[in-house]
Amino acid sequence: MAILSSIRDIGLLLVPEYIVWNQPLSNGQDRPFPILQKRICFTELHPSNLENHSGLFGQFSLEFSAIDARRLGAVPVFYLPQPIERHNGNAIGVALLAGIMDAKALVNRLAVIDSALNGDTPVADNISINLSFNDNPELKGHYTIHSREASNFIDAVKFGITPLQDLNNVLESILGMFYPADNLKHEILLDYYKQREWRIASSFVIDGNEVTRPLRQEERDKLLEIDSDFFGRKIESGLGEVDMLDATLALPGLGGIPLIELVRRIIVPGSVVDVVRQMLGSLSIAPNVISLDDL
């Protein structure tokens, strides 16, 4: 009930999850690369399957039409099989993801240099670039580049394409759309793939207006009251630990319509149908509340 009231007042949350993928290398070692994903998860599900689904994921369900989920920015998850053996093609999926990760690192470096060269602070003729990796602290790079030549090069690279920082954000969002196909922790192949997950995995702008936003202090306080162990914990980010709520975004609604009013139906245990209807009674357009038994 407390979670549902927070959805009524705040909207849905893009909550972080830290995932480390491992790419097998030809030297017999693995190359780990971490990704901090921020996402809201949905399941494409027929109502007849909801009872079994609720047994695992909880007795309160919010139903969106497929059209409204897409309007909110939901996209099907890209499931990748994880390598379970070496020396065959089962690592191709992770290799593709590693390439996207490297492409993001490349674009991010170009964006940082572009920002330094075109910022308000004048730069010297020669500028130093220092590179390091949190997951491999021994790997460092130190370079000196000529600012005028670098500026011409950056101008040529970014000509006619999406601005570099925006492109970096796009690649970060794409990395948030991948998930393992297999539940290797419990040795169940295709376990995650069978969940038919859709996600909203990025902040975005529509007609110049931000759709997602950071949490306000009173919202953070409410979430900590609901579950301080979950929302008050630290989470890895690839650049060290961060507070869970610092890495969480709110999706309050769309086009001035509160998120809760975009819900088609709320399915709950029969014993709390009337309580939930009363909780939502102040809404301009309250979603229909029905019992799971009557579905």
Is residue 161 in a domain? no
Query: Could you tell me if residue 273 is inside a domain?
Result: no
Supply the range of the domain harboring residue 186.
17-46+68-105+172-253
> Which pair of structure tokens corresponds to residue 195?
């969940």
In a domain, 120, yes or no: no
- Confidence band (pLDDT; 50, 70, 90) for 223? very high
CA dist 19 and 30 (Å) reads 15
pTM recorded for the entire structure: 0.87
- Per the CB < 8 A criterion, the answer to whether 273 and 63 are in contact is no
- 229 pLDDT higher than 80: yes
Task: Tell me the pLDDT tens digit for each residue of 128-137.
Answer: 888 877 666 7
pLDDT digits (tens, 9 = 90+) for 18-27: 998 988 888 8
The answer as to whether 99 is a domain residue is yes
Task: For residue range 175-209, list pLDDT tens digits in order.
Answer: 999 999 999 888 888 999 999 999 999 888 888 88
Interacting residues of 140 by C-beta distance below 8 A, sequence separation 6+: 130, 131, 132
Q: Is residue 198 part of a domain?
A: yes
Q: What is the dihedral of CA 238, 225, 286, 211, to 10 degrees?
A: -30
185 occurs within a structural domain: yes
Q: What is the DSSP letter of 239?
A: S
Task: Note whether residue 238 is domain-resident.
Answer: yes
Which of these, 254, 271, 202, 207, lies nearest to 69 by C-alpha position?
A: 254
More confident residue, 118 or 8: 8
What's the domain count of the chain? 1
Residues contacting 42, CB < 8 A, separation 6+: 64, 69, 74, 197, 198, 199
Residue 134: predicted pLDDT: 65
197 domain residue, yes or no: yes
